[in-house]
A and B are shown apart, each in its own frame.
Chain A
């Protein structure tokens, strides 16, 4: 009986590993098909992702730094999945979190840590506001969250672009917004790298999320609602209210990704044109969350994994000339593969691998 629990976890992990292998193989095939040397590319990816930690801290710190926003967005998505929602609005929460910092920097025009506090409050406030729109439309009007959140993503996108172009453009480089003042930035952990203390904040957020989900009544009810609405009602839970809270919880985590990204990543400390430095972080969170089995702690290694891919791909781009977008393509294949519930067992059947035990046919 106890074996069942362990087997369950093993099977799930096996599914993830299979999906990732599928992603890498298909990515390799696509590289090969367009004249790149896939093996060389993957080799250089691996080398740049790991480096030699003893002599060169850059690969590792870069990996952790790139993992940081993914931890936040992965958590945000995991929270929504745990409460039975498919909230793609994490993407706009990231934009808006960053927007809050830009607004605070532009409005206060002072080099003081106060900007960080006010900016994050504004950013999180904006994220929560947008999430509340989606949440109310879901709870009161029954509009599916996928539709609303995507529309809100685009509205947020253009709002941010509006601020970048019309309100607070960088006077020296109009492709960016003004930067967050130095004393409002999150300090770097290691000088000369990109790794800032926001990584620590991300770890703390992950622990906090875990704590909330498993050590508070709120988290208990959130998870119960996500798994079985009927049982939740039977147990006297107010399920609509829980749904709204779940949206807001996700928005705060997504907003933090934006805040930390813009205050804790050199060199820009601003929103760049086309929101290119933020775009897609929310979507990456979906892959991260699914790879991490939607568990707040497992989201950390999953983010580091994707972070390592993102680091390695920079080297790959230089050495094997493969565009870095390949990583997102691979992620897509991984997610599609994870949609199949019995990925591993299907594969086993297909490959003709027999289980040791024969199942008794009853029906």
Chain B
């Protein structure tokens, strides 16, 4: 009995960890897409922020400064992408892919450049984020709050109304005197900041290490989560728990007696991706993207 309860608690805790980066990133991307800016560079932003936050935390031995640096770097990349998308009327998908490719080179390059090691770098204990009650991450709590707050702002305030109008019909918003580009930029920066927080959480808190594959597709799974949650931050919290539990389950299955050594680990590893693919394919008919998301707004 106690074994069962222990397992359940274990799974819940590991789900809370696995869902945090997915939910944070998805909530940011929801805000950005609601404002009309699609960013498929999330994967790259997670890994770049993860790296920078480790660099700062290792240097200062202060995890909070590291976390802040991660958020800042995410916001910076969000700013660049926002400038290209909102003001430059550029191709958002290409810019996003470029960010991913950049990260593919930047992260392993920096691991060598900073620490002279190839592959991965452990975060020193003093640079790791302490846990609440020895169990829960403060970032997880922050993540829940952020999701709820973002939901509130998007759906209950005049600012949220403006943001959502941009993704649906920027022209209507423009006519009413809303600054389309400025608000799109802000939303893109916010999205970047949350992806940055997700990355910093992964390296400084959850995994305690930085590798070049740290994001492992989570940026793209967050994109799928955006679709799955029908562009609603509150549902991203629930969907994040679902997607996150598939990661927790994966890790659990790997060591489960009767599975361990029987089903290869590599096969178990495909689970989160299969779950994501199935979930998105199943729900897509009912999900409704913002109508003008990803489309540059050009005036008459």
User: Using a CB-CB cutoff of 8 Å, which residues 143-158 of chain A contact chain B?
Assistant: 143-144, 146-148, 150-155, 158
A161 near B94: Cβ-Cβ < 8 Å: no
| Inter-chain contact A151/B224, CB cutoff 8 Å | yes
Contacts of A346 in B (CB 8 A): 88
Whether A326 and B105, one on each chain, are in contact in the complex, defined by CB atoms closer than 8 angstroms, is: yes
**A36-B113, A141-B285, A335-B101 are known contacts. Are A159 and B90 too (CB-CB below 8 A)?**
no
Inter-subunit contact A155/B101 (CB<8 Å): no
Indicate if A178 sits at the interface (CB-CB under 8 A): no
Give complex CA distance A35, B110 in Å.
12
Known interface pairs A162-B266, A346-B88; A325-B98 also in contact (CB < 8 Å): no
Q: What would 14 more interface pairs be, CB under 8 Å, given A155-B270, A283-B97?
A: A30-B109, A137-B277, A141-B281, A151-B224, A151-B273, A151-B274, A161-B269, A325-B105, A325-B108, A325-B112, A340-B84, A340-B90, A341-B89, A346-B88
With A147-B224, A148-B277, A341-B91: A333-B102 Cβ-Cβ less than 8 Å: yes
Contact indicator A147/B220 (Cβ below 8 Å)? yes
Q: Are B91 and A336 in contact (CB under 8 A)?
A: no
CB of A323 within 8 A of CB of B112, answer: yes
Chain B neighbourhood of A218, CB < 8 A: none
10 tightest A-B contacts by CB? A332-B102, A328-B105, A329-B105, A335-B98, A336-B98, A339-B95, A162-B266, A332-B101, A150-B220, A339-B94
B93 on the interface (CB 8 Å rule)? yes
B30 nearest CB across to chain A (Å): 15
Is B264 in contact with A166, judged by CB distance below 8 angstroms?
yes
Task: Report the bound CA distance from A154 to B43 in whole Å.
Answer: 13
CA distance A283 to B40 in the complex (A): 14
Q: Which residues of B contact A179 (CB under 8 A)?
A: none
Is B223 positioned at the interface, with any CB of A under 8 Å from its CB?
A: yes
Question: Do B90 and A339 touch across chains, with their CB atoms under 8 A apart?
Answer: yes
- Complex Cα distance, B112 from A35, in Å, reads 12
Interface residues of B in 211-253 (CB under 8 A from A): 216-217, 220-221, 223-224, 227
User: A residues 178-204 with Cβ under 8 Å of B?
Assistant: none
Q: Are B80 and A146 in contact (CB under 8 A)?
A: no
Known: A328-B101, A332-B103. A290 touches B284 (CB 8 A): no
Q: Which residues of B contact A284 (CB under 8 A)?
A: 101
Most B C-beta atoms less than 10 A away, residue of A142, A336, A346: A336
Total A-B residue contacts, Cβ distance less than 8 Å: 156
CB distance from A125 to the nearest CB of B (A): 19
**A336 in contact with B105 given A146-B40, A159-B270 (CB within 8 Å):** no
B residues at A contact (CB < 8 Å): 40, 43-44, 80, 84, 88-95, 97-110, 112-114, 216-217, 220-221, 223-224, 227, 264-267, 269-270, 273-274, 276-277, 280-281, 284-285
A34 an interface residue at 8 Å Cβ cutoff? yes
Whether A166 pairs with B266 at a CB distance below 8 angstroms is: yes
**Which residues of B are found within 8 Å of A148, using beta-carbon distances?**
277, 280-281
> Which residues of chain B come closer than 8 Å to A286, judged between CB atoms?
97, 101
- Give the distance in Å from the alpha carbon of A335 to the alpha carbon of B81 in the complex: 12
Q: Which residue of A lies closest to B294 (CB)?
A: A144
- Residues 336-348 of A, flagged 1 when their CB comes within 8 A of B and 0 if not, give 1111110000100
In the complex, whether A244 has a CB less than 8 A from a CB of chain B is no
The answer to whether A162 and B217 touch across the interface, beta carbons within 8 angstroms, is: no
Closest to B274 in A: A155
Give the CA-CA distance A78 to B290 in the complex, in Å.
Answer: 28
B94 touches A335 (CB 8 A): yes
Question: Provided the pairs A146-B93, A146-B223 are in contact, do residues A151 and B277 lie with their beta carbons within 8 angstroms?
Answer: yes
Q: Evaluate contact between A158 and B267: CB separation under 8 angstroms.
A: yes
Residues of B within 8 A of A248 (CB): none
Name the contact of B220 in the complex, choosing from A34, A143, A151 (C-beta under 8 A): A151
Taken together as a complex, chains A and B put the C-alpha atoms of A331 and B269 apart, in Å, by: 30
* A158 x B269 contact (CB < 8 A): yes
Tell me whether A86 is interfacial, beta carbon within 8 Å: yes
- Please give the distance in Å from B139's CB to the nearest CB on chain A: 24
The answer to whether B102 touches A336, judged by C-beta atoms less than 8 angstroms apart, is yes
Residue of A nearest to B289 (CB): A144
Which of A147, A280, A333 is B227 in contact with, Cβ under 8 Å?
A147
The reply to whether A325 and B109 form a contact with Cβ atoms under 8 Å apart is yes
Residues of A within 8 A of B284 (CB): 141-143
| Distance A161 CA – B268 CA, assembled complex (angstroms) | 11
Contact status B80-A336, CB under 8 Å: yes
Q: Is A334 an interface residue (CB 8 A)?
A: yes
In the complex, whether A139 has a CB less than 8 A from a CB of chain B is: no
- B267 and A162 contacting across the interface, CB-CB below 8 Å: yes
Closest CB of chain B to A260's CB: distance in Å? 22
Contacts of B265 in A (CB 8 A): 165
**Chain B hits for A337, CB < 8 A:** 98
Q: Which residues from chain A contact B220 at a C-beta distance below 8 Å?
A: 146-147, 150-151
In the docked arrangement, what's the CA distance between A159 and B273, Å? 12
Q: Is the CB of A332 within 8 A of B270?
A: no
Chain B residues, CB < 8 A from A323? 108-109, 112-113
Q: Which residues of A contact B91 (CB under 8 A)?
A: 339, 341
A329 to B100, CA, bound (A): 9
Say which residue of B84, B89, B281 sits within 8 Å of A143 (CB atoms): B281
A332 and B266 contact, CB distance less than 8 A: no
